[in-house]
C-alpha cells in the first residue's frame, strides 16, 4: 500500500499583518498534485489543521475544500492538534460521516480506525490527537484518580493499548500504522519563533512504537526522522514556513510505500512567498531590491546608516514594488549612547516640572510656545509655586455662585412649606 503523510497546515495564520492564504494555496496545490500523481491508498494528516480554535471563514472553507480534494484521491484521516478546536473538528467529522461511501475522518480522541479493504489488506491506524498533561490520566487508565505516573508514562500506556487493539483489528496479514500530534523527546524543534508546547511536561518517547510499520507525527514544524531510530517514522513538518525562524526549512509531505519493505520518501512542496531577511546598508538593500529583486517575498530588513533615511520605505517600494514588508527598520550607526548611572541613595527624584521641561526640550515635537512660560503654567497647575493651594483656573468663583444659588432655592422651598 502507499501512504501520504502531511501535517501542521495552520490555515488562517498571519505573519504580522500579512495573510498567509496565498502561500497556503500554493503549497496545497503542490500537495494535491502530489496526491493525484502518486495515488496513495491512504492520507494521514497529523494535526493543527487550523492556526486557531476559531479560524476565519476563509481558512475554514479552504481547509474543508482541500481535505475534500484529498479524500477524492484516498481515504483521509486527520488527528486533532493543539491549535485545533475539538468541537469544530467533531462537527466537520459528523458532516463527513453523512457521505456514502465515507472518505474523511477527523479524530479528536485517542482510538483506532480500521480500513478492511485498502490495497487488498486490512489496515488499522492507532490515532493519538494532542493530549494536554492535565488530561493524560483520563486516557492512560480506567481509573484516572489512581494514575500517578508522568505524562510520558501515560502516553506509553495509551500507545500500548491502542497498538494492541490495532494489531487485533488488522490481523496477522494486516498493516498497523500510528498517527499522533505529540512531542517526542529528542525531536528538533528548529528555530521557530512561534510558541509551541514542547518541553519536559509534554515529552513522550518512541518506546513500543516499533510495533507500527510507520509512525506519522505532527507538532514539530521542522521535517525530520523520529529520534532514536527505534521506530520508523517522521515529522512531516508544517505546510509553509510560518515565521522567519522557519525560513530556511524545506517544507515537505511524506510518501510511504509498504510492501516487502517500507520505503519512506520526503516530497518537497512549494512554500509560497519566500521569507527574506536582510541586515546591511542602504546600498546593499538597493542591490538586492533593484529591478524588482525582492518582488514576491516577505521582507524583514534592518538597514544601518550614519544618518536617518526618512524615505526608506518609499525607496524600497520604488525598487521592488511587489515586495511585502513585514519589518523595515533603520538604525543609526553613530547614535550616541547615554551612560546609565546608578542612582545614589541621597539622590532625590526629580520634580515633575523638571521632567516636563526636559521632555519639552528633548523629545516633544511641534513645540512653539516658550519653554519657560509653559513650564511655569505647568508648575502653577501642580500647585508647586509656593502657593497655599493649587491654582483653580477660575473654578472657585463658579463654585461659590453655584452654592449661593442652591442656598436661595432651598430657602424659598422652606418658606413655601411653612
Domain count, the chain: 3
Q: Could you tell me if 106 and 93 are in contact, meaning their C-beta atoms sit under 8 angstroms apart?
A: yes
pLDDT band for 401, please (50, 70, 90 cuts).
Answer: confident
- Alpha carbon 14 to its chain centroid, in Å, reads 8
List, in order, residues 6 or more apart from 396 with CB less than 8 Å away. Answer: none
Query: 207 and 58, same structural domain?
Result: yes
Note if the pTM is more than 0.75. yes
State the average pLDDT over residues 3-17: 96
Query: 264 and 148, same structural domain?
Result: yes
Query: 315 and 166, same structural domain?
Result: no
Query: 90 and 60, same structural domain?
Result: yes
Instruction: Judge whether residue 352 has pLDDT over 90.
Output: no
Boundary-marking domain end, from 228, 251, 268: 268
Burial code of 225-247, b = ≥16 C-beta within 10 A, e = fewer? bbeeeebbbbbbbbbbbbbbbbb
Q: Which of 368, 337, 373 is nearest to 353 (CA)?
A: 373
Query: 7 and 57, same structural domain?
Result: yes
Query: 198 and 80, same structural domain?
Result: yes
DSSP for 48-109, written as a single string: --BSSSS--HHHHHHHHHHHHHHHHHS-EEEE--TTS-HHHHHHHHHHHTTSSS--EEEE-S
Distance in Å from the first CA to the final CA of the chain: 105
Cα–Cα distance between 60 and 56 in angstroms, integer?
A: 6
Continuous segment of H or E residues that includes residue 398: helix 395-417
Q: What is the dihedral of CA 286, 291, 294, 295, to 10 degrees?
A: 150
Query: 122 and 74, same structural domain?
Result: yes
What pLDDT score was predicted for residue 133? 87
pLDDT, one tens digit per residue, over 210-253 is: 999 999 999 999 999 999 888 999 999 999 999 999 999 999 99
What pLDDT score was predicted for residue 407? 83
- Average pLDDT over all residues of the chain: 88
What pLDDT score was predicted for residue 216? 98
Q: Is residue 166 part of a domain?
A: yes
What pLDDT score was predicted for residue 287? 96
pLDDT band for 334, please (50, 70, 90 cuts).
Answer: confident
- pLDDT cut 70: percent of the chain above it: 88
pLDDT band for 351, please (50, 70, 90 cuts).
Answer: confident
Query: 159 and 91, same structural domain?
Result: yes
Cα–Cα separations (whole angstroms), residue 333 to 281, 285, 381? 10, 16, 41
Boundary-marking domain end, from 247, 268, 289: 268
Query: 232 and 283, same structural domain?
Result: no
Q: Could you tell me if 119 and 39 are in contact, meaning their C-beta atoms sit under 8 angstroms apart?
A: no
Handedness of CA 152, 156, 159, 161 (dihedral sign): negative
What pLDDT score was predicted for residue 390? 52
Instruction: Judge whether residue 198 has pLDDT over 60.
Output: no
Query: 281 and 257, same structural domain?
Result: no
pLDDT, one tens digit per residue, over 35-91 is: 999 999 999 999 999 999 999 999 999 999 999 999 999 999 999 999 999 999 999
Instruction: Judge whether residue 126 has pLDDT over 90.
Output: yes
pLDDT, one tens digit per residue, over 167-180 is: 999 999 899 999 99
Q: Is residue 305 part of a domain?
A: yes
Q: Is residue 347 part of a domain?
A: no
Q: Is residue 200 part of a domain?
A: yes
Query: 32 and 97, same structural domain?
Result: yes
Cα–Cα distance between 33 and 39 in angstroms, integer?
A: 10
Cell of 405: 444659588
What pLDDT score was predicted for residue 369? 66
pLDDT band for 357, please (50, 70, 90 cuts).
Answer: confident
What pLDDT score was predicted for residue 26? 97
Q: Is residue 180 part of a domain?
A: yes
Cα–Cα distance between 191 and 332 in angstroms, integer?
A: 28
List, in order, residues 6 or more apart from 398 with CB less than 8 Å away. Answer: none
What pLDDT score was predicted for residue 284? 96
What pLDDT score was predicted for residue 197? 58
pLDDT, one tens digit per residue, over 239-250 is: 999 999 999 999
Cα–Cα distance between 69 and 63 in angstroms, integer?
A: 10
Q: Is residue 307 part of a domain?
A: yes
Q: Is residue 155 part of a domain?
A: yes
Instruction: Judge whether residue 127 has pLDDT over 80.
Output: yes
Is the pLDDT higher at 401 or at 387?
401
Cell of 332: 543609526
Is the pLDDT higher at 147 or at 233?
233
Q: For residue 384, what are the domain limits?
A: 352-396
Query: 186 and 162, same structural domain?
Result: yes
Amino acid at each position: 500500500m502507499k501512504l501520504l503523510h502531511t501535517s501542521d497546515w495552520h490555515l488562517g495564520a498571519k505573519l504580522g499583518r500579512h495573510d498567509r492564504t496565498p502561500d497556503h494555496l500554493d503549497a496545497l496545490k503542490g500537495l494535491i498534485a502530489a496526491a493525484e500523481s502518486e495515488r496513495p491508498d491512504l492520507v494521514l494528516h497529523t494535526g493543527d489543521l487550523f492556526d486557531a480554535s476559531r479560524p476565519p471563514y476563509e481558512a475554514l472553507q479552504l481547509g474543508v475544500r482541500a481535505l475534500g480534494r484529498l479524500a477524492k484521491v484516498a481515504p483521509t484521516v486527520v488527528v486533532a492538534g493543539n491549535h485545533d478546536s475539538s468541537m469544530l473538528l467533531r462537527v466537520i467529522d459528523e458532516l463527513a460521516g453523512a457521505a456514502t461511501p465515507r472518505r474523511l475522518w477527523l479524530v479528536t480522541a485517542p482510538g483506532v480506525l480500521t480500513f478492511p479493504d485498502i490495497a487488498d489488506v486490512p489496515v488499522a491506524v492507532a490515532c493519538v490527537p494532542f493530549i494536554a498533561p492535565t488530561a493524560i490520566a483520563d486516557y492512560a487508565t480506567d481509573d484516572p484518580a489512581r494514575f500517578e505516573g508522568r505524562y510520558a508514562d501515560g502516553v506509553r500506556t495509551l500507545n500500548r493499548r491502542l497498538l494492541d487493539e490495532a494489531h487485533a483489528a488488522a490481523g496477522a496479514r494486516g498493516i498497523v500504522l500510528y498517527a499522533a500530534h505529540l512531542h517526542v523527546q529528542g525531536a528538533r524543534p528548529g528555530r521557530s519563533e512561534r510558541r509551541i508546547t514542547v518541553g519536559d511536561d509534554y515529552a513522550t518517547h518512541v518506546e513500543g512504537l516499533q510495533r507500527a510499520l510507520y509512525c506519522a507525527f505532527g507538532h514539530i514544524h521542522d521535517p525530520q526522522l523520529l529520534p532514536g531510530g527505534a521506530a520508523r517514522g517522521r515529522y512531516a513538518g508544517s505546510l509553509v514556513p510560518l515565521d522567519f525562524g522557519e525560513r530556511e526549512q524545506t517544507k515537505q509531505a511524506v510518501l510511504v510505500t509498504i510492501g516487502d519493505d517500507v520505503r519512506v520518501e520526503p516530497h518537497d512542496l512549494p512554500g509560497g512567498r519566500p521569507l527574506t531577511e536582510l541586515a546591511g546598508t542602504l546600498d546593499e538593500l538597493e542591490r538586492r531590491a533593484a529591478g524588482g529583486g525582492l518582488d514576491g517575498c516577505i521582507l524583514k530588513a534592518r538597514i544601518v546608516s550614519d544618518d536617518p533615511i526618512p524615505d526608506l520605505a518609499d525607496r524600497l517600494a520604488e525598487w521592488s514594488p511587489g515586495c511585502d514588508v513585514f519589518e523595515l527598520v533603520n538604525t543609526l550607526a553613530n547614535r550616541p549612547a547615554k551612560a546609565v548611572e546608578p542612582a545614589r541613595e541621597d539622590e532625590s527624584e526629580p520634580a515633575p516640572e523638571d521632567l516636563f521641561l526636559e521632555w519639552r526640550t528633548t523629545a516633544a515635537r511641534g513645540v512653539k510656545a516658550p519653554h519657560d512660560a509653559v513650564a511655569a503654567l505647568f508648575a502653577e497647575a501642580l500647585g508647586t509655586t509656593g502657593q497655599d493651594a493649587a491654582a483653580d483656573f477660575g473654578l472657585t468663583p463658579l463654585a461659590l455662585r453655584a452654592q449661593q444659588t442652591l442656598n436661595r432655592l432651598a430657602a424659598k422651598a422652606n418658606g413655601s412649606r411653612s
